[in-house]
Amino acid sequence: MVNLNQALPYVGVTPFQLISALAILIVGYVIARAVVGAFKRTLRKTKLPPLVVEFLGRFLAIGLYLIVLIVALGAVGISVSPVILGLSAVVGLILGFGLQDTLTNLAAGVWLAALRPVDIGEVVEVAGKTGKVNKIGLMGTELLTPDNKLITIPNKLVWGSVITNYTRMPTRRVNVDIGVAYGTDLDRAIKLAMDLMKSHPKVLSDPEPSVVITALADSSINLQLRAWTKTEDYWAVKGDLTRGIYELYTREGIEIPFPQLDVHLKNE
């Protein structure tokens, strides 16, 4: 008759210890599966995406299986302290490298939520991308582009980049550039442009619109129409003034030149 408490040769483990370890592995596996299944069913009742639920379920399963394995090793007389220390070091190393970006994005998301340099519905330019802010999450910020593309930018890039917020302020200045030919009566050209801006119903009178000479270019004298308007009217005013100044100058006989080069041939 086999003595269950007598150590087996070469391995130094009793049959009772082996049976206990095997029972722990089997029972522990069954319990772990049941716990993970219940955990997933609970999470599916929330609004978490299925991919997140599956990821958290696998993470819990790995942790439970490791606990069952450690208990089984202890049942056969193996000291589990070095195993726990080794696993702790490995897990710490993995978390240190693997979660570095995650923690950075999380910290940046907290700063974005606290200081609000961007907000939902605002049009911004950040990290080289321009769009309307659709969502500010813990890990990333979503921008919706004018052509209906959704861009997700990690929060660390948003917080670490220069942010241009186009719609935060209640008013914006509309700039419209146009060139007139050399020899043009500038006083008349400027007056016509000023009358055009002042007559527009969405151009504000305070600050007052203005026209400035920006450059004496190769083929033209460049003017810039500057008109202030409400932020929500920016693109409408810009479109109206761009088309309006072209039609006005054409109608009034003010030449809008195109780039040209005069070539003089000399006969010898």
Residue 76 CB coordination number (10 Å): 17
Q: Looking at per-residue confidence, does 170 or 63 come out higher?
A: 170
**pLDDT for res 136:** 85
pLDDT (tens digit per residue) in 42-63: 888 877 767 667 767 887 888 8
pTM for the complete prediction?
0.63
**pLDDT for res 228:** 98
| Portion of the chain with pLDDT greater than 90, in percent | 51
Residue 134 has pLDDT above 60, yes or no: yes
**pLDDT for res 92:** 64
**pLDDT for res 107:** 84
pLDDT (tens digit per residue) in 203-228: 999 999 999 999 999 889 999 999 99
Distance between start and end Cα atoms, the chain: 128
Assign 5 to helix, strand or coil: coil
Tokens 């980049």, residue? 161
Tokens 């129409």, residue? 225
- Distance of alpha carbon 231 from the chain centroid: 23
- 62-76, 95-109, 242-256: the lowest-pLDDT one: 95-109
pLDDT tier, 67 (very low <50, low <70, confident <90, very high otherwise): confident
Nearby residues of 8 by Cβ (< 8 Å), 6 or more positions away: 14, 15, 18
pLDDT (tens digit per residue) in 90-110: 666 655 555 677 778 878 888
Residue 243, H or E segment: helix 234-251
pLDDT tier, 73 (very low <50, low <70, confident <90, very high otherwise): confident
Residue 2 has pLDDT above 70, yes or no: no
Two structure tokens written together for 247: 């039609």
**pLDDT for res 186:** 95
What does each C-alpha distance from 233 to 33, 173, 225 come to in angstroms?
60, 11, 16
Among residues 158, 62, 65, 66, the alpha carbon closest in space to that of 106 is found at 158
pLDDT (tens digit per residue) in 108-122: 888 888 888 999 999
**pLDDT for res 6:** 57
Cα 162 from Cα 157, distance rounded (Å): 9
